[in-house]
């Protein structure tokens, strides 16, 4: 780590206790690494929000296959966006409910547009898009 800098952080005792409990649950041995990871995560989130940033993403959708699959939007969407959809995984949770995880890679704007087009379809109960910038942060 080039040019390591030390700095102090002041915070309320209760907030610090909650932070210490969080980092203990996650397996951190020191606060410094946990703080570095939180900063990296926020910087990555800001980078991924830039419409031109290249991102890797996972879109998770939960849907009722009776309503959703009548028009087969996933197949159509994959053909329309074959350049950014890398792969999909489909799981049957019960007789009516399916979970689909779609891996995408492209500009943040393209990935978000494709995700919005899918999540807004009839039959989709929930959708969650998680994007990370392809460029690795320090």
pLDDT > 70? residue 132: yes
Q: Would you say residue 8 lies in a domain?
A: no
Q: How many domains does the chain have?
A: 2
60 and 110 in a single domain? The answer is: yes
Query: In the numeric block, which tokens belong to residue 47?
Result: 């980078």
68 and 43 co-located in one domain: no
104: in domain: yes
Specify which residues 103 forms β-bridges with: 58, 87
The whole-angstrom separation of Cα 80 and Cα 104 is: 13
CATH number for the domain including 95? 3.30.70.1150
| Residues 72 and 121 sit within 8 Å (Cβ to Cβ) | no
Q: Which domain holds residue 89?
A: 54-133
Evaluate whether residue 6 is within a structural domain.
no
Is 3 a domain residue? no
pLDDT tens digits along 22-38:
999 999 999 999 999 99
This prediction's pTM = 0.79
| pLDDT digit string, tens, across residues 66-123 | 766 665 667 777 788 889 999 999 999 999 899 999 999 999 999 999 999 889 888 8
Structure tokens at 128: 């969650």
- pLDDT, residue 116, reads 94
Q: Are residues 42 and 59 in the same domain?
A: no
């Amino acid at each position: 780590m080039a040019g390591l800098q030390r700095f102090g952080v002041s915070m309320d005792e209760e907030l610090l206790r909650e932070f210490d409990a969080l980092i203990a649950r996650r397996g951190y041995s020191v606060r410094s690494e946990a703080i570095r990871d939180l900063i990296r995560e926020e910087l990555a989130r800001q980078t991924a929000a830039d419409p031109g940033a290249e991102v890797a993403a996972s879109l998770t959708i939960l849907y009722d296959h009776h309503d959703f699959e009548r028009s087969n939007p996933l197949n159509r969407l994959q053909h329309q966006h074959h350049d950014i959809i890398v792969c999909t995984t489909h799981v049957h949770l019960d007789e009516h409910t399916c979970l689909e995880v779609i891996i995408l890679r492209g500009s943040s704007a393209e990935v978000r547009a494709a995700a919005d087009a899918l999540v807004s379809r009839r039959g989709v109960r929930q959708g969650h898009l998680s994007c990370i910038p392809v460029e690795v942060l320090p």
